[in-house]
Structure 1
Amino acid sequence: MRTLFKTFLLVITFFTLTNINAQNETNKSNYFQISPRVGYDFPTYNNNTPYIDYKAGLEAGISLDYYWKWFGIGVDFDYIKNKPESTYPTENLIGSGGLITNFNLSEASITRMFYGIGPSFKYENQQGNLVGELNTRAGLGSIKGGRTLLTDAGTNDLLNFHAGYNAKNVISAKAQARITYFFNKTFGVHAGAYYLRHFDVTETLDSGLGISAGYHPITTMDGQNMLDRSGPIVREAPCDCDIASVGVFAGLTIKLDKKVCSVCGLDHFPHCCATCGCGVTVTAKDKFTGEILPNTAIVLSDINGNIIQSGTTNSYGVVVFNDVEPDNYIVKGKLYTIDLEETSITKAEFKDCKADGSTIQKVIVYADENYILKGNVVECNTADGIKDVAILLKDKINAKQKNTISNTEGNFIFHLKQASTYALNGKKDGYFSNEVEVTTDAYNRNSSLFIDFEMCIDPCGKAIKLENINFDLDKAIILPAAKPDLDYVVRLMQENPNITVEMSSHTDSQGSDEYNQSLSQRRADATVNYIASKGISPSRLIARGAGESELKNTKCTNNVPCTDEEHRINRRTEFKVVCF
């Protein structure tokens, strides 16, 4: 136990030095905490009775602490209950009348109580939710009970006896270490261990027997225990001996904040009122255009870099930090991975704030000279955003490229340099994309930070009409006016090498079904041949003549009079992408 006690003293010294060094690292407000606990106690009783084992037992207690930053003062109360157990050998015990088989045994529990006061030390992490504590206490204890008596039932001879204790106002000391995890600002759970020592505890003197302890000596021979009849019972006078124990415990911690406002000088317990601290309003703006910047991450930190509060600007580019205690601070911001120019708040500004009841106003600026492309990818001809589209951005002037993925709303962002031209392409399984361009030359950085941009991708299998694919009457020759639309298909297939295109030609209902089928097939073949002549593999092209089998204007069927405009709706060329 002496070694264990020395170990605790070393822990106390180390913890104290650690907290002295760490006091500048934490700047938490003063507070009061209540920590009830339950645990298990392992005792050591130094007395003159060798045949008693004092078993481990229940411990219950409570600690009350008040902290000023890392140092505090606290009081403890502990209730401990142990039970003595006689270990006097009773098997094969030979007395004056032979083998003793019947015994009388009484064992009374011991209760100990401790009341102590002393310093407390703590160290907590930057978030304040994990706290290590060391409590040292000095005080008084009381020890009652523990009378143990073993006799021979036949002769009533005393075999083993201890009168127990009835000691009050015993000088006691305790060292306790615990770790607390706080779920929020008020409630937490803790676990720990302690060492408790009661000094010079006087044993009870039994008035009937006239002794405090005694036992009958034993001689062991051939596996048998024999009462030593050569001498009298060993009788012991009351012993002023120490009682020590170690224990482990767990429990709840309730923290009640007490804030002292350094400006107003008022205590507010347990909650800090609105007069303590100041509000800090931070507005994020673009340096060149003066635009407000929503969704900008803002951090308020102390001069050591410890984060005090953080938030995101609202739709007006503003974030408000409440109840900021007077000190020197740094305000930092970040918009889409780009840092804003930081600003500072001095402690003197809080005095002005308290004088007129206003908030401290700060502006933090975005000074990057590049544009921010705020893109949105949708399905063509709809407003539905598409998530998880791989967006490729190519800088056509500087020969560089970037990649990103659209979010659940189909949104994505890129930072674009001034005076450059970019090509964007989107890829996703089941979709195909056209390459689109955006040129920053068309914008002025002094009047615009954001470039809003929408691009679309089409699902595979969707039929897309080519508006300018017209043929002369009864002909299947590609006209010059049709070539731009077919060149568009060529570019699409070059940009999406994993797709196959089906070219479909449709006619109106005028003429026989057989004639229209033949004519549409020849026209589909002509369009496919043109595309193949531009370097596209014929294996990626399908020519399909649909004739009049898939009328869009279903009113104009065979032998139904229609105007030429009505028939024109059915005369069309379409392409359909097949994705692999």
Structure 2
Amino acid sequence: MKYLKLIILSIIGACGTMRSQTSEPISDKGLQFSIRAGLDKPLFNNNVPYVDYKIGLNLGVSLDYYWKWFGVGFDFDYLNNGAKNSYPLTNLFNSSGTQLTSFAVQENKITRMFYGFGPDFRYVSNSKKFQTELNTRIGFSSIKGGEVEVVETTTGSDQLLNYHAGYDLSSSLSAKAQLRFTYFFNNFGVHLGVYYLKHFDGTELYNATKGFSTGFAPFTTNQDGGIVADETFAFRKEPCDCDLASMGVFAGITFKFPKKVKEEKVCAQCVECTVCGKTHALPMCACQVCGCKLSITAKDKFTHEILPDTDVVLVNSSAQTINSGKTNGFGVVVFDNVKPDNYTIKGLLNTVSLEDGSIAKSEFASCQANNGVIAKEIIYSDRNFIIKGRAFECNSTIPIAGINVTLENKELAIKKSTMTDAQGNFLLQLPETGVFELYGRKESYFSQIERVTASNYNRDKNLFVQLEMCAEKVDCGKGLGLKNILFDLDKYVIKESAKPELNRLVRFMLDNPTVKVEVGSHTDCRSSHAYNKKLSQNRANASVDYVVSQGIERSRITGKGYGETVLLNECADGVKCLESQHDINRRTEMKVICPE
């Protein structure tokens, strides 16, 4: 209800603002934009008896274009609903008669995002102040979250009582029907509405670790009224593609974009064209560009893709550059007011030349008479792929400008580098065959190493390979986790699976030759303090020895075993935790040693 109160107060405030504005005519046909907020009630028929889904928040925007009673529109909706365990936990006993009083309960919310497009139908009153709409949409939804897990922690057996794996759908086909009632003060209005949203793909997650999607411990009621949980666990192994839907109410604000009045250009006097020497009739007089336009399109030979950001140069018969430019987002560059001559068209994309095009002088005659356009194409015929990438700081959307991005294959002796622009974008040529490493180099950044296999792509179908890479910002004294540095039980031998991550550390130290690094090894709280301290020191030493074996001076790297002294959660001695919680504490980190 708190959401509904906020929505109502916002609408009342907006109404006051609209009434105070100067009256202006309400637009009839045209574009309108709406924002809304409301409450969403889930209607999930997913055969999960002991999980309830709660009413939650709905935020949305709409963009609609109407002619008269008919229009088309686009909707985006964000919906957030709570998932609540309903398995009985009060007066609960296990099969041995022990009352269960403490539980580990995990309840993750479900987040849905819907994108849809479709037709609109409306009725508008004679005053144009009241509008009733039926909006229909077809599109896709992402459905994430909803995992619910209940484990009893009273006896130490960690018996699983209730579980549902939730959802992780990226593009579930969905449909939405919506009624919206709007009152307009001018081109601003307020609206109320209801909707129904249906998801046609409601497939649950499958938990590979547990071996099922959902389940619960059956229970009975004893003669004293207590609830007795069975030792067995009833589960459904196969994920259910069940019905998922929701309905809700909302309120919001609508704005109609006013029509623009076109200002006609008036040609005061027609004069002789400086290009062709003729005086043209309207509209080809002095107020417009007279002469020939050249429209040049850059395309790929094999995929026929248009090529934005291609450098194009127009060279005349005297080998002089007459015009130059860069193709737009449609792969086209236009040169105005070009005099008749024989021309060569040259193109360059990411340091690779395109096949030359040509224009004959004779092609200009008909163009001048009709103010037409000479259209030409230049062709990119190189068999290499082009990596169109972007570099970010890890776990963020912050682009990294000025990082040196390298593509390398040591076996083929291929190494190519480029720098990112201010938005973190970069382009690199990728040979048609081979397996390559992609990484970045910049002071105070610890780059991920991406593996790129050219054979995964087909040059006859794709020219551009879209990739993202990330690098972590390194601050001295701040630990960064090294992934996949795993050891066998009670062992400290470096496994093959750990070497790629340690090689990433080697690469960082080679790129930053003055930096000194500490490798820290951490254990969980199980076993004695002394044993954990010794084991973690041996593991840290093993990591250091491997890095030194790859050419790093031993004076630049040290290893330290922290044992269980730096835990990342509450799982200390005497605290009962799940295995997944202990996993968080078992880790290897690196940190740059701050200079003294």
**TM-score bracket, shorter-length normalisation:** 0.3 to 0.5
TM-score with structure 2 length normalisation?
0.46
Larger CA Rg, structure 1 vs 2: 1
TM-score with structure 1 length normalisation?
0.47
